[in-house]
């Protein structure tokens, strides 16, 4: 049997998903292919899913800008997608089933690297859409959480929507003073354009610093955390782990992979 998989979003020309999913097909010994479908929102998005079903596609990843709009197209939502308010994976069968694998991707990336979040002190920078999957996991592990966000009212709304109480909410003056955490996580888009990140010298991190961003070499945030004696994980690992969970949802097989090998083959390391 040939397994048709794909990606729906716009634009897609720089996506690493086709390469990553093709690695999984190979390592799992599954005969299949992965196609990109650039599509507008609204009726075009609905038509895309009807066509994918007609052509026997087993599943697709969904990326920007359609992660929220797809919620209205799928027939069912898994609890994570419902809480986080975004779908990044759809299983196509008699019904369209929406999932969010970002949260499990984040969790599994840390577990596989030997980290345990249970009851730990965590600093989360940024509280927008990308941080919501992280918050889902942090809540599960009952962490002691401090959130730093530029716009405190936006962070308050996100934390409320996820019923996350018992959080210290701070502005960026917080990182100008001495503090210490087991984990420091960057969920902001700071530095994406100019490569600059606020000075993190006064923030000690003892376990791992995790950035949801990725690029060739160290991201601006991870560069600023290099002084701490902690592990450094970037968003490429999370991308691969969320992709692996999506692959498992479509095929029933959790693939074998090495993030370092995939990243090397893509010229990122
Ligand atoms: P995404 O879906 O990528 O998370 P988002 O929902 O717009 O995008 O969230 C981006 C995050 O980066 C937010 O926490 C945002 O802070 P605000 O809530 O104040 O907007 C943060 N962010 C982006 N640019 C920033 C900057 N220059 N300084 C500080 N925070 C910034």
Spatial separation of the C-alpha atoms in residues 18 and 170, rounded to whole Å: 39
Buried b (16+ CB within 10 A) or exposed e, 58-93: bbbbbbeebbeebbebbeebbebbebbbbbbbbbbe
**pTM for the predicted model, two decimal places:** 0.94
Q: Is 128 near ligand 1, meaning CB less than 6 Å away? A: yes
Distance 24 CA to ligand 1 centre (A): 32
CA of 147 to the centre of ligand 1 (A): 13
Q: Which single residue is written with the structure tokens 């009851």?
A: 119
Indicate the burial class of 151 (C-beta count within 10 angstroms; 0-12, 13-18, 19 or more). exposed
Domains of the chain: 3-100+237-265 (3.40.50.10860), 104-233 (3.40.50.720)
Q: 47: Cβ–Cβ under 8 A, 6 or more apart, which residues?
A: none
Distance CA 90, CA 17 (A): 14
| Ligand 1 contact via 151 beta carbon (within 6 Å) | yes
* Residues labelled catalytic: 67
The half-sphere exposure of 233 on its side-chain side, counting CA atoms within 13 A, is: 28
With residue 104 as reference, give the H or E element that holds it: helix 102-112
Q: Is the Cβ–Cβ distance between 108 and 238 less than 8 Å?
A: no
Atom of ligand 1 nearest to the CA of 172: 29
Evaluate: CB of 150 within 6 angstroms of ligand 1.
yes
**Quick one: what percent of the chain has pLDDT higher than 70?**
100
CA distance linking residue 216 with residue 235, whole number of Å: 11
Per-residue pLDDT for the chain (269 aa), expressed as one digit of tens each? 899 999 999 999 999 999 999 999 999 999 999 999 999 999 999 999 999 999 999 999 999 999 999 999 999 999 999 999 999 999 999 999 999 999 999 999 999 999 999 999 999 999 998 999 999 999 999 999 999 999 999 999 999 999 988 899 999 999 999 999 999 999 999 999 999 999 999 999 999 999 999 999 899 999 999 988 899 999 999 999 999 999 999 999 999 999 999 999 999 98
- Of 223, 257, 267, the C-alpha closest to 237 is 257
Ligand 1 centre distance from Cα of residue 75 (Å): 31
Supply the residue whose CA is at minimum distance from atom 5 of ligand 1.
Answer: 128
Q: Give the residue whose CA is nearest to atom 16 of ligand 1.
A: 150
Q: What is the crossing angle of helices 102-112 and 129-140, to 10°?
A: 60
Q: Is 130 in the pocket of ligand 1 (CB under 6 A)?
A: yes
- Within 8 A by CB and 6+ apart from 241, the residues are 104, 105, 106, 108, 109, 112, 259
Q: What is the pLDDT of residue 153?
A: 97
Distance 141 CA to ligand 1 centre (A): 24
- Quote the CA–CA distance of 148 and 171 in Å, as a whole number: 5
Assess whether the C-beta atom of 189 lies below 6 angstroms from ligand 1.
yes
What's the burial of 198, exposed, middle or buried (CB within 10 Å: 0-12/13-18/19+)?
Answer: middle
């Amino acid at each position: 049997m040939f397994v048709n998989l794909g990606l729906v979003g716009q634009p897609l020309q720089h996506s690493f998903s086709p390469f990553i999913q093709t690695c999984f097909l190979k390592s799992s010994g599954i005969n299949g292919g992965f196609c990109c479908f650039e599509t507008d929102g609204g009726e075009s998005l609905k038509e895309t899913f009807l066509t994918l079903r007609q052509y026997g596609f087993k599943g697709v990843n969904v990326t920007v800008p359609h992660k929220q709009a797809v919620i209205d197209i799928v027939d069912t939502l898994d609890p994570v997608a419902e809480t986080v308010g975004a779908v990044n994976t759809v299983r196509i069968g008699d019904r369209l089933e929406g999932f969010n694998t970002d949260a499990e991707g984040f969790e599994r990336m840390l577990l596989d690297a030997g980290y345990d979040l249970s009851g730990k002190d965590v600093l989360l920078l940024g509280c927008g859409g990308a941080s919501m999957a992280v918050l889902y996991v942090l809540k599960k592990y009952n962490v002691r959480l401090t959130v730093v966000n530029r716009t405190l009212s936006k962070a308050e709304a996100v934390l409320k929507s996820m019923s996350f109480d018992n959080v210290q909410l701070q502005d960026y003056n917080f990182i100008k003073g001495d503090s210490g955490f087991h984990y420091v996580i960057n969920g902001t888009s700071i530095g994406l354009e100019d490569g600059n990140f606020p000075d993190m010298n006064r923030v000690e991190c003892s376990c791992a610093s995790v950035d949801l961003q990725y690029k060739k070499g160290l991201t601006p945030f991870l560069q600023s955390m290099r002084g701490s004696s902690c592990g450094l994980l970037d968003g490429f690992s999370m991308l691969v782990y969320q992709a692996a969970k999506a692959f498992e949802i479509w095929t029933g097989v959790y693939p074998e992979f090495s993030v370092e090998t995939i990243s090397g083959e893509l010229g990122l390391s």
